[in-house]
Structure 1
C-alpha cells in the first residue's frame, strides 16, 4: 500500500537510529550452545567441536539468499576449557580445549568454518574461580600456612578456624569459594592473578581468534569485607581486563553475567567494564506476562530498559543454561512459545537464544535436565549420537525435532527462521529506536522501532482470545512525501492509509508486523 501524507518525520524515542549499531554485536542474533549436548561426531555419546562444525549450516550457511538455515549471526559457546565437571564452569587449564570436545586444531578449524559463514564466536570465560583440581590451587593447597609460596595468594585463605559461610576448611587453612568447595575463588587483589587471567584472554583472542567472551559470575570477583557483590574493586578489575583485551582489537566483544536489576547492570557498561550485560529482568517479566496473558509489566520493563540503556547496550533472552527452559515454563504451549519468540526478536537490545529453544525443547531443573542433547530427528537418540548419549534425550523429541519441523510450514522452527530474517533485514528491528504505542486494550503490547527513514510497527496479543485493536496510531509528524506501507507478518489487522493507524481484531497469542518507508 502507498500512503500520501503531508509528510512523515519519524519520532526519536530512547536512542538515535543514526548513531546506534556501530559495533557488529549490536545488530546480531546470538545462539548459546552447550557443546557437550549439540552433536556427537565420533559416537562416544558426547557432543564435540567437530560435531558443532558439521552443524554450522543449520545455524547459518553463509548464503543470505537461502532460507533453510536458522540465520543467527553469532555463537556463545558454554565452557570449552578442560574441567573435571560435565558443565565446565570449574576450569583446570585456561589455555586449552576440554579433551571430551577435541583439541585446539579442531577448534581452529571450527572457527575458520564459522567465520567463513559470517558467524562470530564468543566463548565462556570463567574468571571468578577455578577448579580445585587446577594446578594453581593444588600448589596453593600444599603450601604451609605461613610459607612464602608464589601460588598461596592466588586464592583467598584464612587461618582462623572460626570461619563463616562459603569458607572451606583444609589442613593448611580455610579457603573461600562462593559457589562450591570445588570452585575456589581467585584472589584478584594479587597482581599475578590479574596478569594470568589477562594473558589467558589474550591467548584466545590473539592466538586462537575468538571474537570475544561471555564472562561468568563477574559481580563476585573482588570482595570487600561482607560486601561480596558489585564492589568497586570488581569494577576496576573488569575495566582493566576489558581495556587490555580490546587493546588487541576494538571488535572484541565482552558481555557479562551480572544477575541483577537493570540499574546495577548499567553501571558495568557505563564504566566500561563490559560492552553489554544480560537483561535478566526482561526474561523474568516476559514469562510472567505470557503466563498471565497481560503485557503491562513487560511493557514497563522494556520502557525502563531503554531508559537505563539509551544506547541499547543490553541483551534480552528467554532462558539459558541456568534456568528452566522457556517451553516448560509456559506449559509447553506452542502458540505462547511463538509469542515469546516474537516479543524477544522484535524488542530492542541484542537477543540471545538458547540451543533447542527454536524447536520447543523442554526441561526443568536439576541443571542436567535443562542441558540435554539437541533434538535433530525422531530417530534413535534424537539424532544426536550413534552411541548412548551422556544424558538421555527429552521424551518429546519424536515430535519436536529439527528434521520434522523443517518441513512443517507453520512450525516453531520456521517461525524462528522468519523472525530472525526479518530482524536481520530490517535495521529498524535490529538497531532502531523503541517507542511504546497506546493500543487501548489490556492484552495488547504495541510498539514501533525506527531507524534511518524506516518504521516497523509491532502488535502482540498476549490474550488466549481475540483482542480488538482500535485506531492504534503510529507516532509521527507530518510532511510532504509518499510513503510505502507493507505487511510483514500477520493477516487480521489493517492499516488505515489516511491516518496511519492500525485497527482490527488480533488473533489469540499472535503477532502482526508492518513496515512504513518513504519512497
Structure 2
C-alpha cells in the first residue's frame, strides 16, 4: 500500500573544471554515509547483483487468478529478463469490513496460510520450485503493520493491537478494513518473526517486499533480517525510502525519482531535476544501497493512473532513464504488453495481454542491465557522470562506467525535437548503439539529433 495524502579547490575552480570537462556530477566508488544514512550494513545476496524485478498481481495476471495458471508464464518472465519475482500478498483476505467484492490484498486474515482463491499450499510450493528451476527468485509481499479485523489474533490477543485513548483498536490512515499492530508487545513481535521464518522454511521463498515498512520499528526489521539470513541468504525490499531502512533491507523505493519523472512530463520540472535528484540520493544513501526505479506499480496503476496516463509518449524515454541511472528497474504486471488500463484493486479485473508488444523493448534494456557491469546494482555497478549537451533542461545524458565497461544514454525528456551537442571527453570512445546495433566513435563536439521523447543508448 502507498500512504496517500507516499577542500582542495575553491568553488570557482571546481565550477571551471566541471565546465571544461562537460561533467555536471560524478558519483565516486565509495560509500556515502552522510545525513541519516547509517546504511548498507546488510550483505546483499550475490545473486542479486545484476538482476531486475517484476511485480506479480496474482488475482489479475490470468483469468483463473491462480498459481497454477501463473506458472505457465514463468518461462516468458525469465526470457523477459526479470529474475526477481515479487508476488503481491498470497494470504487469505479478511471478510470483516472488506472493501469491494474481493477485498484488499493487504488485509491479511492468516499469516500462515495461502489464499484459497489462488490455490493450495502445494500449488504455491510447486510454483516456487518451478521458478527456482528456471533460475528465478521469489519474494512475497508481507504486511507487518496491520491485519484484517477477522484475523484470529484480534480475538485471541487483543493486547497485540494499537488502541486509542478510549481503548478502541485503530485502523492506520483511512484503511478501515485493517487494524494496526502494537510493536511494543514482545509476544506480538515474536509471532510476526516466526511467521516470516515460516515461509522461508516451508516454501523456500527468497525474501520479502515489506508493506509500509516505515510504520514498523527498525529494530524489528534488523532482528528479522539476521534471523532470516541464518536460514538462507534473503533479499528484502522496503516500501519506503528512509536511508535507515538499509540496515535491514537490500532495497528501498525511489518514490522521489518517480515523482520527478511525472513532474517532468507535466512540465513542472526539467531534465536538470534528474541531476538534482541523483546528487541528493548520493548524499543520503550509501553507494551499496539498492534503490528500486519504476514508472508504474500496483499503487500507481490503480490509484494515480497508468504510465501512459502520467507519462504519455514519454513512457519509453523514462524507462530508459530508470535503467540508466543507479538502481534496480521494476516491471509491473501487464507493463510489457503496454497495458493502458487501471486494474481494479478490490474486484476481479484480468490483464488484457494482447501481443506483448513492448516485450522486445524491455527485454533489450534488461539484457543490457544484466550483462554490462556498469549497470549492476549498488557497489557491484559503476559510477555515474552527467554529460552536458547544451540543452540540459531537455536532455539528460548519463555515463555509467565500471572497469572497461560503459553505458552512455542520451535521453530527450521533452515533447519537442532537440539536438544534443556533446561536451567534454569523459564519454569519448567506441560504442555500439543498443537498439540499432550501429557502431560509432563518439567525441566532444558530436551532435546527436533526437526526436520528441527520443533516446540513444550506447554501450561498450
| TM-score computed with the length of structure 1 as normaliser | 0.73
Q: 1:421 and 2:415 equivalent?
A: no
* Pairwise CA distance, 1:474: 4.6
Give unpaired runs (5+ residues) of structure 2.
Answer: 1-24, 32-39, 95-101
Q: 1:355 to 1:440 in 2, by over 3 A?
A: same
Structure 1 gaps of 5+ residues are 1-10, 41-45, 61-68, 140-150, 162-172, 222-233, 378-400, 406-411, 478-482
Q: Distance in 2 between matches of 1:119 and 1:302?
A: 30
1:210 aligns with 2:205: yes
**Measured at CA, do residues 501 and 350 of structure 1 come closer, stay the same or move farther in structure 2, by a change above 3 Å?**
farther
SS of match in other structure, 2:423: strand
Q: Describe the shift of the 1:204–1:491 C-alpha distance in structure 2 as closer, same or farther (beyond 3 A).
A: closer
Could you list the per-position Cα deviations for residues 316-349 of structure 1 after superposition, in whole angstroms to 9, with x for gaps in the alignment? 1112111234434336x3x411112211122211
Superposition RMSD on alpha carbons, in Å?
2.7
Map of 2:138 onto structure 1: 121
State the match for 1:314 in structure 2: 291
The residue matched to 1:76 in structure 2 has which SS? strand
Query: Is 2:458 aligned against 1:514?
Result: yes
Distance 1:367 1:502, change over 3 A: farther
- Matched residue, 1:439: 389
- The CA distance in 1 between the partners of 2:415 and 2:127, in whole Å, is 44
In structure 2, the CA distance between the partners of 1:78 and 1:301, relative to structure 1 (3 Å rule), is same
Matches of 2:447 and 2:140, distance apart in 1: 45
Match of 1:37 among 48, 60, 79: 60
Q: Larger Rg: 1 or 2?
A: 1
Question: 1:285: how far off?
Answer: 0.7
Within 5 Å, give how 1:363-374 maps onto structure 2: 363-364=341-342, 367-368=345-346, 372-374=349-351
Change (3 A) 1:421 1:341: same
SS at match of 2:178: coil
The corresponding residue for 1:176 is 170
CA distance in 2, matches of 1:177, 1:494: 59
Give the structure 1 partner of residue 310 of structure 2. Answer: 330
Q: Does 1:448 align with 2:399?
A: yes
Matched, 1:86 2:63: no
Structure 1 partner of 2:150? 133
Residues 356-365 or 208-217, more deviating: 356-365
Q: CA deviation at 1:463?
A: 2.3
Change (3 A) 1:105 1:88: same
Mapping 1:1-20, distance limit 5 Å: 13-15=27-29
Match of 2:4 in 1: none
Give the Cα separation in 2 of the matches to 1:248 and 1:33. Answer: 25
- C-alpha contact 1:492 1:506 (8 A) present in aligned 2: no
CA distance in 2, matches of 1:363, 1:493: 38
The 1:22/1:124 distance shift into structure 2, 3 A limit, reads closer
Deviates more, 1:448-457 or 1:359-368: 359-368
Could you tell me whether the CA contact under 8 Å between 1:493 and 1:504 is conserved in 2? no
- Which residue of the partner structure matches residue 278 of structure 2? 302
| Aligned counterparts of 2:446 and 2:142: Cα–Cα separation in 1 | 46
State how 1:325-474 maps to structure 2 within 5 Å.
325-330=305-310, 333=312, 335-364=313-342, 367-368=345-346, 372-377=349-354, 401-402=355-356, 405=357, 412-430=358-376, 431-441=381-391, 442-474=393-425
Q: 1:205 to 1:506 in 2, by over 3 A?
A: same
Q: Mapping of 1:21-100 within 5 angstroms? A: 23-40=46-63, 46-60=64-78, 69-84=79-94, 85-100=102-117
CA distance in 2, matches of 1:435, 1:243: 35
| Stretch moving more, 121-130 or 418-427 | 418-427
What is the TM-score normalised by the length of structure 2? 0.82
What does the per-residue CA deviation read over 1:81-107, in whole Å, with 9 as the maximum and x for residues that have no partner? 111353321111111110000011111
Residue 273 (structure 1) aligns with: 248
Choose 117-126 or 307-316, whichever is displaced more: 307-316
